[in-house]
Structure 1
Amino acid sequence: MNHTFFALVAVLLLSSCAGSNTAKSPVTSLPTTSGHGEIKLIWNRNVGTYTGFLHPARDGSTICAVNRSGTFFLLREDDGGDALSSFRMETADTITAATSCGDGVVTAATDDGTLLVYDYDGSELWRKELNTRLIASPLVSDGSVFMLGQDGRISAYSARHGDLLWRYVLPLRTLVRTPVDSTPTAANGLIYAGMGNGNIVALQQNNGRVEWQTKLSFARKSGTLSDILDTTTPIVREDRLCAVAYQGHIGCLHTSSGQILWRQPLSAAKRVAVDEYATRVFAVDVNGNLAAYDAKNGEVLWSQELATAKTVAFVRGAVVVGFSDGTLAALTADDGSFIGSVDLSGEVAFLQPLNAEEVLGATLSGDIFRAVVVF
């Protein structure tokens, strides 16, 4: 199984990097918005050797990031400068899973499946041998660390002491086998997680009891590889949860009951974006194409064949799209017309909104950046 997994990951990573040396992304050929607007970098900070799994995170006004060698960076959100001195973790192994931070602790995971937790001053609080790899960020929330392992289990630990609080195991255990963006989400007193079989599960945050479980995605073809249905990070807005699965479907559910509102065939490895009123969902598929969906019924509102797009985030009035060639572009949320773009070094591997107008992002060359869309 391990050999199959690593072979599959290698194929997916190679395919995700394809096009990084090709012609520039086709955003400049899109119709231009009639309004005035632009996207601008506020700051850009290189933190060293990086991978697509090493996403930055946010704790209040602090941005935390980690590189492959195990150096933590705690940055000021306003200008990217050092909030506190950086420090290196005591590990001889390569860091492969993203950092998360909150409640005064930062986390990361090594290639051999060790979860590391440090205080902001660089003191190690605890570490756990997990007997599974992490290929997505842990989540720090309300004094606990939540993690989804490659073995398909969700575990909750005390953030300060490392005590196991609870563990959830799917009745039919299914491995998470693809490098999808699958960090759990905390909202409404629940932990929402996308699983390795197309399921979304909602667990009570304090004890891990199942609130509901819904199969969002199912195999659309026959064959062993077609059964891989790893689901991305669920995005919660209002009373709606939206997500997408690799080789599966995109859709939205009710957060309280798990009832499916709609789903449509789509394959993606990055999380969707949802507008502030939960009326539209935006997603980039594995072929790099962007589409906007009506969050109530799944109707495609507009689409753009961008080919080399990798990830997307929503800000007020616009969607921000990251490309494999380092382009960061803003398109209007209403019709997908072109607003503007800036160039970065390296594939844009991660985007998330910071506030109504700004995004936090990262590139494979190790740049952590903050950008704003202005009209």
Structure 2
Amino acid sequence: MNLLKRIAVPVACAMTVLAMTACSSKDERRIPTPLTDFKPALTVERAWKADVGKAGRYLFSPVAVGDAVYAAGKNGTVAKIDGKTGKEIWRTKVHADLTAGVGSDGTMTAVGAERGGVYVLDANGKLLWKSNVPGEIVSPPLVGNGLVVVRTIDGQISAFNAATGELKWVYHNRAVPLNLRVSAGMTFAADAAVLAGFPGGGLAAINLKTGDDYWQAPVSFPKGVTEVERINDVTGAPTLVGAESCAVTFQGKIGCFDANSGRPIWEKPFSSASGVAQDSGTVAAADDWSVVTAFAADDGRQLWRNDKLKNRDLSVPLLLGPSVVFGDFQGYVHFLSRDDGSFVARVKTDGSAITAAPVIVGDTLVVQTRDGDLYGFRPR
């Protein structure tokens, strides 16, 4: 079960990387569903391909800003690429092994490195400043509003002055015995707050000026007897559309909240280790069996469910026009109909896993594979 390879602390067979591989190989329930042919209803053309270096055991997420996409690899490469042509605008090499990236506002770009290193580049890809946080960084930094916001795997969030590297504030989340080794992103709520989910199932809106929380709300609560059963982490980045923010937990719930108060709008039992996508009409996610469900954004009613990608380790989704887009463990990009969840298109990359959310740059869909290739696709 590739999902639990991301567990932070190994506990017995079910919680170790090597043992889980051995255990899952005997579990027929976890055999990936074979892909079947279908008649495409959407044409998707490959526009370009670029390379930024392999991810290793980390997850690197590209970020789109304006007409460019920013991406990084474990070997220290950070690149800015033209989203239309795939041509390199700049490429730099940070002298450290990277563990997370990328965050950018188009002027400054940030990545996380081993031993809590934080590296910030200027608009031309030159090193502006570097600092450290006390913990491992596996989630991409958030850059904007004059800040570089960095979180460590235990949920601590540190905010730096983007121009100078001065530490402005630190937000501490309560510790939990076990947490997932997954990328847990953050989202700006205009220029007032950063939204973040935490191990233990909590969601918070944090004041950008002071680091104090405006509110905290539980997405779900831990259940079970053992520490493994009680893992209940918010996964992926909270989404924000208007005044509604949505989030999902592992072994918990999916739900949407009033971003101004934290008041729940709707919640449903669900479990996901990847994350959620949201727009004004739809909330979509793959559960930890890679069964995809779409919910109505206003009240959480189920719109459709697709189990034909079961156990294919689907990425965070992207809602794109009439489609819901996922990458999988073999480098396929799947396009599902927003209306009913049926397959409308499928394209292949380099055969390695796509775990980060696809991003959109203009009319180009960009995905990053674990082998470090960036692909630009254009749906027609």
Pick from 65, 73, 80 the counterpart of residue 67 of structure 1: 73
Cα displacement string for residues 155-179 of structure 1 (whole angstroms, at most 9, x for unaligned residues): 1101121101111123x33478313
Amino acid at match of 1:101: S
Mapped to 2, the partners of 1:261 and 1:27 lie a distance apart of 37
Within-5 A mapping of 1:202-281: 202-232=205-235, 233-275=237-279, 277=280, 279-281=281-283
The question of whether the paired residues in 1 share the 8 Å contact of 2:62 and 2:359 is answered with no
Structure 2 residue 167 is matched with structure 1 residue 160: no
For these two proteins, the number of residue pairs brought into alignment is 358
Counterpart residue identity of residue 67, structure 2: S
Deviations 1:100-149 (A, max 9, x none): 12252222122221112222434322222212011110100122101121
- Structure 1 unmatched ranges of 5 or more: none
1:49 alignment partner, one of 40, 54, 69: 54
Shift of 1:24: 7.4
Contact kept? 2:66, 2:361, Cα under 8 Å = no
Q: 1:28-177 alignment to 2 at 5 Å?
A: 28=37, 36-51=41-56, 52-84=58-90, 86-91=91-96, 94-170=97-173, 172-174=174-176, 177=179
1:324 counterpart = 2:329:
yes
Residue 242 of structure 1 and its aligned partner are, at CA, apart by 0.8
- TM norm structure 1: 0.87
Residues 5 and 74 (structure 1), Cα distance of their counterparts in 2 relative to 1, 3 Å cut: same
Are 2:303 and 1:301 aligned?
A: yes
Give the CA deviation at 1:274: 1.4
Q: Which runs of 4+ in 1 moved over 4 A?
A: 11-15, 22-25, 355-358
Name the residue aligned to 2:365.
Answer: 359
Please report the TM-score for the alignment, with normalisation by the length of structure 2. Answer: 0.86
CA distance in 2, matches of 1:353, 1:95: 21
Superposed CA offset, 1:176-199 (max 9, x none): 831323111002322000111101
The alpha-carbon deviation at position 251 of structure 1 amounts to 0.8
Superposition CA RMSD, Å: 2.6
Distance 1:46 1:220 in 2: 43
Q: Tell me, yes or no, if the aligned pair for 2:266 and 2:299 is still in contact at 8 Å.
A: yes
> Residues 256-292 of structure 1: CA distance to partner in whole angstroms, max 9, x if unpaired?
11111121222212121113x2x21110111111111
User: Matched residue of 2:355: which SS?
Assistant: strand
Segment of structure 1 superposing worse, 251-260 or 143-152: 143-152
- 2:4 corresponding residue in structure 1: none
Please give the alpha-carbon distance, in whole angstroms, between the structure 2 residues aligned to 1:265 and 1:167.
Answer: 32
Farther-moved stretch of structure 1 (60-69 vs 48-57): 48-57
Distance 2:32 2:154 in 1: 39
SS in 2 for 1:112: helix
- Which deviates more from structure 2 when the two are superposed, residues 204-213 or residues 186-195? 204-213
SS in 2 for 1:68: coil
Measured at CA, do residues 201 and 13 of structure 1 come closer, stay the same or move farther in structure 2, by a change above 3 Å? Answer: farther
Partners in 2 of 1:111 and 1:62 — Cα distance? 26
1:180–1:230 contact (8 Å) kept in structure 2: no
Instruction: Letter of the 1:42 partner, please give it.
Output: A
Deviates more, 1:4-13 or 1:58-67: 4-13
Q: Find the aligned partners of 1:229 and 1:283 in 2 and give their Cα distance.
A: 17
- Taking only the aligned residue pairs, the percentage that are identical comes to 25
What runs of 5+ residues in structure 2 fail to find an aligned partner?
Answer: 1-6
Aligned counterpart for 2:17 among listed residues 10, 28, 37: 10
